[in-house]
Structure 1
Amino acid sequence: METEIQLRNQIFQRLIDYQHQDENRLAFHLTPPIGLMNDPNGLVYYKGKYHVFYQWNPFDTNHTFKCWGHYSSSDFIHWEEHPPALVPSEWYEKDGCYSGSAIVHDSKLYLFYTGNVKTTEGGRETYQCLAVSDDGVHFEKKGPVIYLPKGFTPHFRDPKVWKQEDKWLMVIGAQTEELEGLTAVFASNDLINWQWQGPLAGNGVSLSKYFGYMWECPDFFSLNGKDILIVSPQGLEAQPFQYENLYQSGYFIGEWDSKTNKYVHGTFHELDHGFDFYAPQTFEDPNGRRILLAWMGMGDEQEQTHQSIKSGWIHSLTIPRELTVKDGRLYQKPIEELKQLRNKARSEIFSIANEEKEVLFDSELQEIIIDIEQFEGNKWEIQIHNHCKLIFNRKDSIVTLERQNFNHSKLETRQCKINKIDNIHMYLDRTSLEIFLNNGQIVFSSRYYKKTIKNQCLISVEGKAKLRWKNWSLYSYQYRNDTLKKVVF
């Protein structure tokens, strides 16, 4: 097993040697400098900066190696890259530093994460571990603080920690020995010694009732007077208008009694209906906002056909989103800081009747807001860069996102039900598209690789519509690796 110094030197050399620039690199999303990025980890505000850690394989574009990459920012726009916070160098993490969370306590930054170990017999061991920092960049590992409890398989990971009243709480994604997914709860007075509280209970019974065979990346918090559990269940069967991706991410809204650990909640709702969204994590910022980032990727059969792999990297994170509760649902909207990206603006009001209108852009990087002031007809479509298409079928109350798959061999769709669309808010960043409908009621996040360099939207209407259109070309904060001292995006 290689030492931590050896691994860090290898990663450092990979970054120094990497010089390739490509047309697919995103301009205002967090992407890996090289290799594979997946789950966001340890979202936290510490010593005047927002910190975003993430699962990172700096050696390849697959999931064979896992360490924690690290960015920080004072404004969510300009980001600094730091050396990896965690690399798998100890016995309890030798096969990967898996996902987790961060908290601030006594002016120190605490990282909780899962240490993954593969045994010589082909099995797996899992340990919930702790590392502590005085400066937010250099971490001292403290080792395991939770071992696998009885009744669970080693698929037991992704600790999320928070403080409630006078004690610390932790939720962990888990799989029972009966191969059912659920969320486990622990409590602590000192962040070192943790006591098992049981599974998070819902409506008096296990939350799962076989709702998937594994629950990953749990997140539990209060917002607008409601207790919300975000989780990524694996093993849900696809149904019309939901669960169409390989794995899902969504939430329950309810009320939790911390004394009895009883969680009474509503049904599960997906957070995002696009092709590429998984493993979301949230944190509360100093202004009391609940901010979410997610992995804008999906480890499905298309993963290794991403065109960016030719340039030595793959995947990104979503833009940061502020969460609110409205009408019993979570709404997501781009955070206010992203308005700093706005450059050249254009606005107009136009009417369309059984025709097509072309809107040309002077840049690949766009923020677009469309208010639909009037729509009388059967259907409207918005085609983006002659590649992705957003379609609303009024008669059937269905909204569809259509794209060509990554090798452009076929069309594929994601759909959900919605009665009416009044507002469309989109962010386009070279090879990514994020769509917020009705001020964040429904969201679609997707990567794409266009065949044409023409930057345009084509709007067509069966019937007639009146649209209030605004768009901004966005600034690009491009970056290059400079011995791990760089400002990005």
Structure 2
Amino acid sequence: MTLSREQKYRKLNQASPEELEQLKEQVASCPWRQSYHIQPPFGLLNDPNGFAFYEGEYHLFYQWFPLGTFHGMKYWYHTKSTDLAHWENVGIGIEPGDPQDSHGAYSGSGIVKDGELYLMYTGNTRNEEWRRLPYQNLAIMNREGKITKRNEPVIAVVPDGYTDHFRDPKVWRANGEYYCVIGAQRTNGTGCAVMYKSQDLLSWSFLGEVSTGLDDFGYMWECPDYFELNQQGVLLFCPQGLSPEGDRFQNIYQSGYMVGKPVDVRTQKFKHGLFQELDRGFDFYAPQTTETPDGRRILVAWMGLPDVGYPTDHNGWAHCLTLPRELTLRDGKVIQQPVRELKHLRKEEVTAEAVLHNETKSFSGLQGISYELICEFADADAECFGIEFRAGNADKTVLAYDRNTKKVILDRSLSGETIVTDYGSERRCSLDSEKIKFQLFVDTSSVEIFVNDGEEVFTSRIFPSMESTEIRFFAQGGSVTCQASLWKI
């Protein structure tokens, strides 16, 4: 479907009360609304933004186009939480339409300064020739929750050597000064990240490009994020334009990181290891992190991808955010685990254990639509073992470990309503371990899988029938011991 510019860049106040009511009715009738994930009231959600702890609460914004499930005029929508588990919708945080963000308030980040929350974001604008003019802007939230945009951009010009694909500032403070990384595209059509420096978040000076060993790695780097863990520097970013390599880079766009010595802010040099994917699943993009008051590094991402259609598009809404994950480093690898606060979501527990011999087995009380499931497999001589969940007569999502290839496999080919299959219906990664632990957070239309306490993670949207509530455990070509605990959410 070809959309006009007027359709793509309509504002919320241009919709009639009847149109908004119809949108809300469409959403209310959708069977795949999530029960404990952040999701839009209607319309399209994408990148998480402005993630910060401020005045006793976690504030998390996301990109929102209210009037459709395509990427149109973007707002920042505001949610908040005291515990990272239960989230409250606040409403629109940043409304676009001023000269510095006339065609959308694009992604950015948040940082606390002088008792206020500073939100730095990219303003999307277009001139009369429809040429993109990106501005880096600032909005400030006070203790009462009022957000005020500054009238003038804080970075108004794209430096020489880069195109108008220049966006997504992520800010941090070090040694009494402020720094930010911005995703960029060089004029030769390759992606990179650049750095700026400021004393006050208002006046910024261009430092240069983050010097990496990746001079030709995709055509654009979106959503960069830099932080330090265990005296190591970690650069997250989303390179667009990578070709698949074996089990790697199987999605339309990728999200990943590099670990190395902390960035030298004087020279912008970053000595790092290999680029590694953050998530092995189907639906994960634009991650953003923040630091908790007790020093943990927490990540949230968009559970979706650009340029991919989803079944809920027909119901007037699209996408959600992942659950918050705590990041740690182990041997140069980022380990992701669900934040401990998510235990607050647990209700009654049901347990089961068995030895499976060339069979598929279910257990009383282990089923549902919305739950956390921890399953441990050991003492295996089976060739393949695992779990079928959200299963029924026609549906099942399969999570398996293949001992011959030493790979974890997620198969959503029978997961219900079809999502675009241009990029396949299986995801795999290598894992050499005698014991396999799967921790699943299953919601109405998604699953987040943490393998061996976060050594690998698979995130996926699934759209099964509401009658598909079974959980089945299986072993093929031998036996395996299995212990499982399920908590309703």
Residue matched to 1:351: 355
Name the SS for the 1:339 alignment partner.
helix
Select which of 233, 242, 246 maps to 2:252.
Answer: 246
Select which of 151, 160, 164 maps to 1:150.
Answer: 160
Is 2:177 aligned against 1:177? no
> For each residue in 1:418-452, what CA deviation from the matched residue of structure 2 results, as whole angstroms up to 9, or x when unmatched?
11252110010011001000100000000011136
Name the SS for the 1:92 alignment partner.
helix
User: Which structure 2 residues correspond to residues 285-434 of structure 1 after superposition, within 5 A?
Assistant: 285-301=292-308, 303=309, 306-359=310-363, 361-386=366-391, 387-404=396-413, 407-408=417-418, 412-420=425-433, 421-434=435-448
Question: C-alpha separation between the residues in 1 aligned to 2:211 and 2:123?
Answer: 26
Q: What are the ranges of 5 or more consecutive residues in structure 2 without an aligned counterpart?
A: none
Name the SS for the 1:265 alignment partner.
coil
Is 2:133 aligned against 1:125? yes
Shift of 1:208: 2.6
Question: C-alpha separation between the residues in 2 aligned to 1:408 and 1:432?
Answer: 13
Question: C-alpha separation between the residues in 1 aligned to 2:256 and 2:40?
Answer: 25
User: Which structure 2 residues correspond to residues 211-290 of structure 1 after superposition, within 5 A?
Assistant: 211-255=217-261, 256-290=263-297
Identity %: 39
> For each residue in 1:318-353, what CA deviation from the matched residue of structure 2 results, as whole angstroms up to 9, or x when unmatched?
001000001220011111111111111111221111
Higher strand share: 1
Shift of 1:9: 4.6
Question: C-alpha separation between the residues in 1 aligned to 2:114 and 2:369?
Answer: 45
More moved, 176-185 vs 356-365: 356-365
Residue matched to 2:85: 77
Question: C-alpha separation between the residues in 2 aligned to 1:362 and 1:406?
Answer: 17
Contact 2:31-2:466 at 8 Å conserved across structures: no
Contact 2:368-2:470 at 8 Å conserved across structures: no
Q: 1:291 to 1:182 in 2, by over 3 A?
A: same
Q: 1:373 to 1:393 in 2, by over 3 A?
A: closer
Contact 1:282-1:291 at 8 Å conserved across structures: yes
Is 2:201 aligned against 1:191? yes
Contact 2:352-2:363 at 8 Å conserved across structures: no
User: Which structure 2 residues correspond to residues 158-173 of structure 1 after superposition, within 5 A?
Assistant: 158-173=168-183
Question: C-alpha separation between the residues in 1 aligned to 2:361 and 2:107?
Answer: 46
Select which of 430, 441, 444 maps to 2:455.
Answer: 441
Name the SS for the 1:261 alignment partner.
coil
Shift of 1:118: 2.1
Residue matched to 2:472: 458
Name the SS for the 1:267 alignment partner.
coil
Residue matched to 1:65: 73
Q: 1:32 to 1:124 in 2, by over 3 A?
A: same
Q: What are the ranges of 5 or more consecutive residues in structure 1 without an aligned counterpart?
A: 475-489
Residue matched to 1:469: 484
Shift of 1:310: 2.9
Question: C-alpha separation between the residues in 2 aligned to 1:72 and 1:407?
Answer: 32
Residue matched to 1:39: 47
Contact 2:105-2:122 at 8 Å conserved across structures: yes
More moved, 94-103 vs 71-80: 71-80
> For each residue in 1:185-232, what CA deviation from the matched residue of structure 2 results, as whole angstroms up to 9, or x when unmatched?
000111111111111113xxxx43211100000000001221100000
> How many residues end up aligned between the 2 structures?
464
> For each residue in 1:356-402, what CA deviation from the matched residue of structure 2 results, as whole angstroms up to 9, or x when unmatched?
11245453111111122321121113211222111211111122111
Shift of 1:299: 1.9
TM-score scaled by structure 1? Answer: 0.91
Contact 2:369-2:466 at 8 Å conserved across structures: no
Name the SS for the 1:263 alignment partner.
coil
Shift of 1:408: 3.5
More moved, 357-366 vs 402-411: 402-411
RMSD: 2.1
Shift of 1:135: 2.9
Contact 2:12-2:67 at 8 Å conserved across structures: no
Name the SS for the 1:338 alignment partner.
helix
* 2:281 maps to amino acid: G
Larger RCO (alpha carbons 8 Å, 6+ apart): 1
Select which of 118, 124, 141 maps to 1:110.
Answer: 118
Name the SS for the 1:308 alignment partner.
helix
Residue matched to 1:477: none
* 2:220 maps to amino acid: M
More moved, 289-298 vs 141-150: 141-150
Question: C-alpha separation between the residues in 1 aligned to 2:46 and 2:346?
Answer: 27
Question: C-alpha separation between the residues in 2 aligned to 1:379 and 1:316?
Answer: 32
* 2:376 maps to amino acid: D
More moved, 314-323 vs 443-452: 443-452
Shift of 1:86: 1.0
Question: C-alpha separation between the residues in 2 aligned to 1:442 and 1:196?
Answer: 36
Name the SS for the 1:145 alignment partner.
coil
Contact 1:295-1:318 at 8 Å conserved across structures: yes
